[in-house]
Amino acid sequence: MSASVSSVARRLGRFRRPSVIPGFGLTLGFTLTYFSLIILIPLIALAVRSAGLGPEGFWKAATDPRVLGALRVSFVSALFAAAVNVVFGTLIAWVLVRYRFPGRRIFDAIIDLPFALPTAVAGIALTAIYAPNGAIGALFAPLGWRIAYTPAGIIIAMIFIGLPFVVRTIQPILEEVSHEVEEASATLGASRLQTVTRVILPSLMPAILTGFALAFARAVGEYGSVIFIAGNIPFVSEIAPLLIVIRLEETNYAGAAAIASVMLIISFLLLFAINLIQAWSRRRYGYGN
């Protein structure tokens, strides 16, 4: 065993820097094997199934009006939710980093609730609150506004699951903003509002954009917390992941694969964009996250 590992290591010699620490072949080998079995091969299966449709078939499945409708619902709602999260997430990060008040650390811990709470639980809880007879839904029902079972409900659920991404991306960067920079701005005659809007917020911009992209990406793919509150009416409140599930129930595997491929391509582009933002900001300003 150890002989074969070391012979592997010798062959790998050129692509890794020599080290006295053992276990490179074993751990990297296991990592790659496990990754291939769990992630890579299944994703390839998805690509193969989508390709099985042929270019025309794929195009037809991907541009089916109901598919386009579902993608539109998912992306537009996610955009709204991420925008709301950027505003409130920045505000919350600001309050948590800058101010001292009773309960701050508990507040800080609760921000991660959407990471920890199972999405289905969040989904039924949000539905209970925003349904016409729920705590908040009842406030709006007399005005004729419905939140649950409409696109508004989708956005609420997406805000819920996206919030920590924005807060947790901005928080560490805000902590690093030097006090001296703010003092410098004040000595140059800038009012506090000018210092915040012209000095601090612009220097947080890379983090804010990254947080936005992360929250957006998460919201687009979200399923569990959305389907209960969404109403799921095609073209109005039917999200793309739900349509995948519906296609599967119809045993239209290729159709499901086509939608999934479109969504994956868009998520990867987003991921790529996040990396670009960070690389660009590191290169130009000397910081990123």
Partner 1 sequence: MATKLTARRKRRISPTSESRPVQWLLIGIAFLFMGVMLLLPLYAVFHEAFLKGIGAFFTGLAHKDAQAAIRLTLLVAAIAVPLNVIFGVAASWAIAKFEFKGKAFLITLIDLPFSVSPVISGLVYVLLFGAGSFLGPFLKSYGIEVLFALPGIVLATIFVTFPFVARELIPLMQDQGTGDEEAALSLGANGWQTFWRVTLPNIKWGLLYGVLLCNARAMGEFGAVAVVSGKIRGQTTTMPLQVEMLYNEYNGTAAFALASLLAMLALVTLVLKTALEWRFGQEIAAGANH
Partner 2 sequence: MEVRVQNVRKEFDRFPALHDVSLDIRSGELIALLGPSGSGKTTLLRLIAGLEMPTQGKIFFGDTDASEKTVQERNIGFVFQHYALFRHMTILENISFGLKVRPRSTRPPAHEIRRRAMELLDLVQLSGLEKRYPNQLSGGQRQRVALARALAIEPAVLLLDEPFGALDAQVRRELRKWLREIHDRTGHTTVFVTHDQEEALELSDRLCVMSQGKIEQVGTPDTVYDHPTSPFVFGFIGESSELPVTIENNELWVGGRAIGIPAGDASPGNARLFFRPHDVELIEAEASLAGVVSTSRRVGGTRRVELEIGGAGHLVEVDLPFDHPAGDKTRLAFRPRRWKLFPAT
Residues 244-283 that bind partner 1 (CB under 8 A): 244-245, 248, 251, 253, 256-257, 260, 263-264, 267-268, 270-271, 275
Based on the shown chain and the rule CB under 8 A, indicate whether residue 148 belongs to the binding site for partner 1.
no
The answer to whether residues 227 and 239 touch, using CB atoms and an 8 Å cutoff, is yes
Site for partner 2 in 98-117 (CB under 8 A): none
Measured on CA atoms in the order 204, 209, 212, 214, is the torsion positive or negative?
negative
Letter string b/e over residues 112-134, b meaning 16 or more CB atoms within 10 A of that residue's CB? eebeeeebeebbebbbbbbbeeb
x/- contact string, 44-83, with partner 1 (CB under 8 A)? -xx--x----------------------------------
Interface with partner 2 (CB under 8 A), residue from 10, 98, 104, 198: 198
Based on the shown chain and the rule CB under 8 A, indicate whether residue 186 belongs to the binding site for partner 2.
yes
Report the partner that residue 95 touches, choosing among partner 1, partner 2, none (CB closer than 5 to 8 A by kind): partner 1
CA 255 – CA 58 distance, rounded (Å): 8
Question: Least separation, in Å, of the C-beta of 64 and partner 1?
Answer: 17
DSSP string, 141-208: GGGT---TTSHHHHHHHHHHHHHHHHHHHHHHHHHHS-HHHHHHHHHTT--HHHIIIIIIHHHHHHHH
CA 231 – CA 224 distance, rounded (Å): 13
Q: Which stretch binds partner 1 (CB under 8 A): 10-18, 57-65, 146-154, 279-287?
A: 10-18
Report the partner that residue 41 touches, choosing among partner 2, partner 1, none (CB closer than 5 to 8 A by kind): partner 1
Output 82 or 199, the one with its CB closest to partner 2.
199
Based on the shown chain and the rule CB under 8 A, indicate whether residue 285 belongs to the binding site for partner 1.
no
Collect all residues with Cβ–Cβ distance below 8 Å to 84 and sequence separation of at least 6.
155, 159
* Other Cβ atoms closer than 10 A to 138: 13
Report the partner that residue 285 touches, choosing among partner 1, partner 2, none (CB closer than 5 to 8 A by kind): partner 2
Residues of the shown chain interacting with partner 2 in the complex, contacts defined by CB under 8 A = 178, 180-181, 183-191, 194, 198-199, 202-203, 205, 284-287
